[in-house]
Structure 1
C-alpha cells in the first residue's frame, strides 16, 4: 500500500520540492544582501547600545532597494497555504472517487480507516515538512528587517508557527471537501471558500486581539515621552487625543484643532488644555506568543476537520 501511495503522489512530492527550491532561489540572494546591509550600516551595533535613530539609514536603504521586492514576494507566499489546499488537499480523495480507484482500495484486506490514515499522513507529512522549511527560510529572510521594524506586519502570516498551521488547515479542508463532494473542481472551489471564510476574519479582526492590546496615555510635553511611545517594532492599533474627562476625540475633532497650528506649538497647546496622546498597540515582543495562539487555533480546526474526515470514510457504504 505504501508503494501504491508513493506512486500516486510522487508528482505531488516533486511539486513540493520544486516550490521550496524556487522560493529558496528567490529569497536567499536577497536575504544575504539585506543581512550584509544590516551589518555594514552599523544598525546592529546601534540597536544593541539602544541609541535613538538607529533604524533611519537602514529603513531608507530598505525602502529604496528591498521594499519593492518584499511587496512582490510576500503576497505570493501568503497564497501558498491556499494553494496546498487546492492542489494537494482537494484532489487527495476526490480524485479517487472520480477515477473509481476507491472501490479497489476498499475491497482489499487493508481497512478503509488504515487506507485513509496512510494517505493523509503521507501527503500531510510532505505538506508539513515543506511548509516548516519555507517558514524557517522566510523567517530568516526577514530577521534583519524584523530587528528594526518588528514582525507584526503583513509578513506575520508567512513566518514562524502560523504558516505551517495555515497550510495544514487548508490541506485538511481540501481533503474533507473532496470526501464529501467527490469531484476535484467542486472540492477545490469549496476549499478556497472555506479557507477564506476562516483566514480573512482571523487576519483582519482577530489576530491583533488574541492578547489584550496595551494602552498608554502620554503628556506630549513630558521629558521621556518618546521612550514611552510605541516603538517601530510595535503594531499600533489606535492613536488619538483624549481630553481631561477621558473622552477620546474623533479624527475630525483632532484635525480641527490642528488646522493652521505650527507643529512646534502643538505639544504646548495640548498640555495647556489638558489633552493627551493615547495609543493602543501590540508590543513587538509578543510576536511568538501571538504566533503560538493563532497556530494553536488553526491546529485545533485541523484536528476537527480530520475527525470529520475519518467519520465520513467510516460511515460511507461501499
Structure 2
C-alpha cells in the first residue's frame, strides 16, 4: 500500500476501527438476543399464535411479545446510517483537506486530483458498503425467529423495510456521496456536516413517506363476493382502506355497512346494492419490490452525486 491509497488509509483508519467495533458489538448483542428469542419460541409459549397483525394473548389476557427491542434499535441504526456516514465519513473526506489547506500540498507531491480523490473515496465506499451490508444481514438473521408474527417484527415495519436488504447499502452510499460533495462545496467541515444532515435526513423522510403512501408500490385489492369472509390479512401490509363494491363497480367506505358478518351485513348490502367486499394491502412479496426500487433510486442518486463531485474537483481544488 503506497501513494494516495496509503494516505487515505492513514486518514480514515480511525473511522474504520470504529466501524469494526460497532459491527462487533452489534454481532455480540444479536447472538445473545437471538438465542433467547429462539428459546422462547421453542418453549411452545407462542404455538397458538397465528400469522397476522393482531396481538396474541396469554392465559392472563395480556399480549405476548418477544423481546425485540434490541432488534428494533439495530433497525433504527441502519436507517440512520446515511446520516451518520455522510456526516462523519463523507463530509471530512474532502472537506478536511480543503479547510486546512493541505489538499494543495498533497497534490504538489505528484499525485493527480483523480488519484487523490479515487484513493480516499474508494476506501470510504468500500468501508461503507461493508458496514451497511453486514449490519443489514445481521438484522435479517436476527429477525428470522420472529419474522412476520404477532409476537415479532413484520416485514413492513419501518425498522425492517428500511433497515434491512440491499436498500440499506444504497442508502449508506447515498449518504456518503452527499457528505463528500458537501465537503467539496463548503469550505468548513462543520458546515458541510450540517448540510449533509439536512439533505440525508430529508431524503430519508421522503423515502419513508413514499412507502406509507404506496407511491411507487401500489397496494393490491383483495375482493370477496357477497358477504363471504374477506381473505385473511395474514402478513399483508394493510392500507387501512376497506369497503364495499356495487354491481357497477363503485367502491364505498366500509362504514356504509359497519357489520363484520351475519344477517345485519347481508341485509345492509342488499339494501345498498353491494355485491362484494374488498380491502387493499401489499403482500409480503412486495418487500423485494420496495427494496429494489429504493436501491435503484438511492444508488442512482449516489452515482449522480459522485459524478458531479468528479466534475467539480478541478474547479474547487
Q: Is the 8 A contact 2:78 2:135 kept in 1?
A: no
In structure 2, the partner of 1:49 is none
1:193/1:57 Cα in 2 relative to 1: closer, same or farther (>3 Å)? closer
- For each residue in 1:246-305, what CA deviation from the matched residue of structure 2 results, as whole angstroms up to 9, or x when unmatched? 444347xx1x753xx797555434443344432121110222232122111111110000
Stretches of structure 1 lacking an aligned partner (at least 5 in a row): 47-51
In structure 1, the partner of 2:241 is 239
Provide the C-alpha distance between the structure 2 equivalents of 1:158 and 1:262, rounded to a whole number of angstroms: 36
In structure 1, the partner of 2:306 is 306
1:124/1:266 Cα in 2 relative to 1: closer, same or farther (>3 Å)? farther
Q: Is the 8 A contact 1:220 1:270 kept in 2?
A: no
1:185/1:63 Cα in 2 relative to 1: closer, same or farther (>3 Å)? farther
Stretches of structure 2 lacking an aligned partner (at least 5 in a row): none
SS class of match (2:98): helix
Q: Is the 8 A contact 1:234 1:283 kept in 2?
A: yes
In structure 1, the partner of 2:157 is 153
The match for 1:211 among 206, 210, 217 is 217
Which region of structure 1 is more displaced relative to structure 2, 125-134 or 279-288? 279-288
Provide the C-alpha distance between the structure 2 equivalents of 1:60 and 1:204, rounded to a whole number of angstroms: 32
Provide the C-alpha distance between the structure 1 equivalents of 2:37 and 2:142, rounded to a whole number of angstroms: 8
- For each residue in 1:11-68, what CA deviation from the matched residue of structure 2 results, as whole angstroms up to 9, or x when unmatched? 0111111221222233221122223333443979x9xxxxx93669995588534244
In structure 1, the partner of 2:290 is 290
SS class of match (2:67): helix
- For each residue in 1:144-164, what CA deviation from the matched residue of structure 2 results, as whole angstroms up to 9, or x when unmatched? 222436412212111111111
1:28-47 aligned at under 5 Å gives the runs 28-41=31-44
Alignment RMSD: 2.9
Higher helix share: 1
Provide the C-alpha distance between the structure 1 equivalents of 2:133 and 2:308, rounded to a whole number of angstroms: 25
Q: Is the 8 A contact 1:237 1:280 kept in 2?
A: yes
SS class of match (1:158): coil
Provide the C-alpha distance between the structure 2 equivalents of 1:267 and 1:66, rounded to a whole number of angstroms: 40
Which region of structure 1 is more displaced relative to structure 2, 163-172 or 28-37? 28-37
The match for 1:53 among 47, 50, 55 is 50
SS class of match (2:252): coil
Q: Normalising by the residue count of structure 1, what TM-score does the alignment of the two structures yield? A: 0.83
- For each residue in 1:178-202, what CA deviation from the matched residue of structure 2 results, as whole angstroms up to 9, or x when unmatched? 0000211111111111112322122
In structure 1, the partner of 2:106 is 105
In structure 2, the partner of 1:272 is 270
The match for 1:181 among 183, 186, 192 is 186
Q: Is the 8 A contact 2:128 2:172 kept in 1?
A: yes
In structure 1, the partner of 2:135 is 134
1:32/1:216 Cα in 2 relative to 1: closer, same or farther (>3 Å)? same
In structure 2, the partner of 1:93 is 94
Provide the C-alpha distance between the structure 1 equivalents of 2:28 and 2:267, rounded to a whole number of angstroms: 55
Question: 4+ residue stretches of structure 1 with deviation over 4 A?
Answer: 54-63, 67-73, 261-266
- Superposition deviation, residue 243 in structure 1: 4.3
Residues 1:74 and 2:75 are matched in the alignment: yes
1:92/1:126 Cα in 2 relative to 1: closer, same or farther (>3 Å)? same
Q: Normalising by the residue count of structure 2, what TM-score does the alignment of the two structures yield? A: 0.84
- For each residue in 1:52-85, what CA deviation from the matched residue of structure 2 results, as whole angstroms up to 9, or x when unmatched? 9366999558853424444555334422331111
In structure 2, the partner of 1:281 is 281
- Superposition deviation, residue 136 in structure 1: 0.5
Provide the C-alpha distance between the structure 1 equivalents of 2:210 and 2:72, rounded to a whole number of angstroms: 22
Provide the C-alpha distance between the structure 2 equivalents of 1:163 and 1:9, rounded to a whole number of angstroms: 22
Equivalent residue pairs, number: 302
